[in-house]
Amino acid sequence: MAAISFSLSSFIGYKVVAFLLLVTVSLIAMFFDIAPVLLAAFISAMVWNYFFIPPRFTFAIQDSDNVILFSMYFIIALVNGALTFKIREVEKKENKKIEKENTLKLYNTLLNSLSHELRTPISTIIGATDTLQDVNNKLSADNKSELISEISKASLRLNRQVGNLLNMSRLESGFLQPKTDWCDVNELVYDVVNQLQDNLQGKKIDVKILENLPLVKLDYGLLEQVLFNLVHNATIYIPENGIITISVFINKDKKLLIVVEDNGNGFPEKEILHVFEKFYRLKNSKTGGTGLGLSIVKGFVEAMNGSVILENRKGGGAKFTVEIPAEITHLKDIENE
């Protein structure tokens, strides 16, 4: 700034240069610690004195007005730099305070969700097993079968929530590395559908898979969890007799596309951008759930270098489109390998 001001010294007076140098010191204070700021303030005062205050190219100041002006500049430069730095420090502390509050809010959200989501199936398991142990001889075969079914459902629910937490931990650690291998997506889809049979009671599922779909090279476990979470999420929110459609095909860019649609109420437009955030749950949504399912979907898809898009269908309902670049081949090609 001093060099630029010196080149323009025939057009601007030395008092204007003082303002330019003060602004420069203020800008430095926005990016550096206090020591460099004070050093910059000192150097700017010396440079202004030597190169701009008459007589130039000397530190001597003859005019008493300029002596006062230089002294004031020196003080103002130091104070201005220190205050700007101080303001920046206050802003940092305020940002840390906000981050801490958000972290605490997130922790409370997680704690509240887990206290319900983990305690409910655990209570069901404990209650059912206690009943089987205490009054086993008095129970009919149907009662025993019903209790065993409740234990099974609660165990699966508990396993799912713990799995979500472990998956989120894997994502947060940053060490999630997909293990790719040839897999049949057709088989994967029906595996997920079979796992969700209990959730699909009273609801229909329509699978549309491209005929002669080639094998794809990707992480079977990650993709299975992605599809499971999407379909499970749909089973929760669609009405009785609702329909879930799963479409799978390879597009012209040789990318695997999995589309999960339903005929439910869809998502509020204002909340679509937030549904993939951790622990986010829709306003006025049903009780239960940790808000991790869709964030895991996004994390796993991105770990496979893919993308997931959510949009509302024109006829009503939600539409999730998962696009993953993957190497494709047919069975004959693998046999030749």
Which residue, 122, 145, 175, sits at the end of a domain? 175
Kindly report, residue by residue over 265-305, the tens digit of the pLDDT: 888 888 888 888 876 777 666 545 556 778 888 888 988 88
In a 10 Å sphere around its CB, with 0-12 CB exposed, 13-18 middle and 19+ buried, how is residue 237 labelled? middle
For the chain, helix, strand, coil in percent to 5 are 60, 15, 30
In the 8-state DSSP scheme, what is residue 264?
Answer: S
Structure-derived torsion over alpha carbons of residues 150, 152, 155, 156, reported in degrees to the nearest 10:
-110
The total of structural domains in the chain comes to: 2
| Whether residue 188 sits in one domain with residue 121 | no
Which residue, 175, 194, 229, sits at the end of a domain? 175
Kindly report, residue by residue over 224-264, the tens digit of the pLDDT: 889 998 998 888 888 888 899 999 988 888 889 999 999 88
Read off the tokens for 161.
């929530």
Amino acid, res. 310: L
Write down the mean pLDDT value for the chain.
82
**pLDDT classification of 164: cutoffs 50, 70, 90:** low
| Whether residue 194 sits in one domain with residue 169 | no
| pLDDT value at residue 162 | 76
- How far apart are the C-alpha atoms of 268 and 275, rounded to whole Å? 10
- The H helix count followed by the E strand count for the chain is 10, 8
| Global confidence as pTM | 0.58
- What is the pLDDT averaged over residues 120-130? 85
| Whether residue 278 sits in one domain with residue 223 | yes
Q: Which domain does 163 fall in, by range?
A: 1-175
